[in-house]
Amino acid sequence: MSVMLSFQEVTKIYPGAEHFKAVDSLTFDLNEGEICTLVGPSGCGKTTAMKMINRLISMTSGKILVDGQNADRMDTIELRRSIGYVIQNIGLFPNMTIAENIAIVPRLKGWDAGKISEKVESLLEMVNLPAEEFMNRYPKELSGGQQQRIGVARGMAADPPIMLMDEPFGAIDPINREHLQNEFLRIQEKVRKTIVFVTHDIDEAIKMGDKICLLRNGKLVQFDNPEKLLTEPANDFVRDFVGGDRTLKRLNLLKVKNAMQTDPPLIRALESLQTAKGKLSELKTDHLIVVDENGRLLGTVDPAALGKTGDKVAEVVQATQAHIQASASLKDGLSEIFSHDLGFVIAVDDAQKVVGTLTEKDIKALLRK
């Protein structure tokens, strides 16, 4: 993987505030297609660091390489047009329609009209706002969440390889924020941009970042992936900032498939009750998971059910809600475990095929590792 963005000993001292360094010899590399969240307490220099990339703020010393080129040597206007920019206050242009807002950078770059309108439509579709309904509306006619989606779409309009986002979901209520975050990650899955994402919210940083860059008083404290940050905090400051519940936070990060047992006690629906009973005592468990020919989940059977009169397992199977996608977070998995009295949940894949089981013990084992 190639390095897309590189900070090298970047320092910023604001004129008139010479006694302190807003950003202090910041050095890190960001690979192509990764999201790097810049996080830290308020005033630690996140915004400053970010704005030096597109030179809205000039650096005092150091070097920023964008795709291997020194940003300082590039034409400012060209540089900015090649970097997507999304800010906290959204900053949509109230005098322009949604379509015009999204088309800003393509227009500045002189794309032809047909290409622009195609792009606008596909971007609106991408952020889940029907084009024909929203294109000709004005920003004031949209809700905060919708506006922020337009802000993201606008940032991506000219297909910039790099995007800068300064607390993009900061002004949105928690429920909508969660929704936008998920939506954004889904989009990122497809477009794979290199993104610098500023936030003061450690949860958001952990959720959104492939890499987390934790700053304090302008200095880099730790630059790592979220898992590392949670398991191996560099010092007490990081430990504190991440919070006492960092183990629980890891639940958010880890997936069911990381922890589950991959040899579930399966039984085909067409097997006889006799076989099922045999299997039950052989495996020494309380439940068997019933699947169809293709391995898809049908339900469970327990000794009581097997005691009923019948011929085939299919006749006594009990449907169950205790299942979860293997790609879901461990937090959701744990929540499922607690909400059913089965003692475990069944992990399934996209096609509802049973791929494993998850118990509290499995989770504990993983977290201790």
Q: Which of 230, 316, 320, 220 is nearest to 273 (CA)?
A: 316
State the minimum distance, in angstroms, from the CB of residue 92 to ligand ADP. 21
Q: Would you say 214 or 324 has its CB closer to ligand ADP?
A: 214
> Can you read off the two tokens belonging to residue 91?
């900053």
- Cβ atoms of 164 and 54 within 8 Å: the answer is yes
Owner of token pair 């909400």: 339
Nearer to other proteins, 97 or 117 (CB): 97
* Cα gap 264→267, rounded to integer Å: 9
Which residue type is seen at 54?
A: N
Return the number of the residue (18 or 282) whose C-beta is nearest ligand ADP: 18
Taking each helix axis from N to C end, the angle separating 360-368 and 330-339, rounded to the nearest 10 degrees, works out to 150
The distance of closest approach from Cβ of residue 50 to other proteins in the complex, given in angstroms and rounded to an integer, is 10
By CB under 8 A, is residue 168 in contact with other proteins? no
Which residues neighbour 327 within 8 Å (Cβ) at sequence distance 6 or greater? 255, 256, 257
Could you tell which of other proteins, ligand ADP, Mg ion, none binds residue 44, using a CB distance below 5 to 8 A set by kind?
Answer: ligand ADP
CA–CA dist 193, 71 (Å, integer): 18
Identity of the residue, 9 or 78, whose beta carbon is nearer to other proteins in the bound complex:
78
Exactly one of 1, 15, 73, 94 binds other proteins (CB under 8 A); which one?
94
Residues that bind ligand ADP (CB under 6 A): 14, 17, 22, 42-48
> Rounded to the nearest whole angstrom, what is the least distance from the CB of residue 106 to ligand ADP in the complex?
29
- Taking contact as CB under 8 A, which single stretch among the options 11-19, 70-78, 195-203, 208-216 is the one that binds other proteins? 70-78
Contact positions toward Mg ion, by CB under 5 A? Answer: 47
Closest CA to 259 of 202, 324, 210: 324
Is residue 105 near other proteins by the rule CB under 8 A?
A: yes
User: Which burial class, exposed, middle or buried, applies to 132 when counting CB atoms under 10 A from its CB (0-12, 13-18, 19+)?
Assistant: exposed
Q: Which stretch binds other proteins (CB under 8 A): 1-9, 94-102, 191-199, 205-213?
A: 94-102
Q: Which H helix or E strand runs over 77?
A: helix 76-81
- Taking the least distance from each CB to Mg ion, the nearer of 92 and 164 is 164
Chain position whose Cβ is nearest to Mg ion: 47
Q: Which residues bind other proteins (CB under 8 A)?
A: 51, 54, 56, 76-82, 85, 87-97, 104-105, 108, 138-141, 154, 164
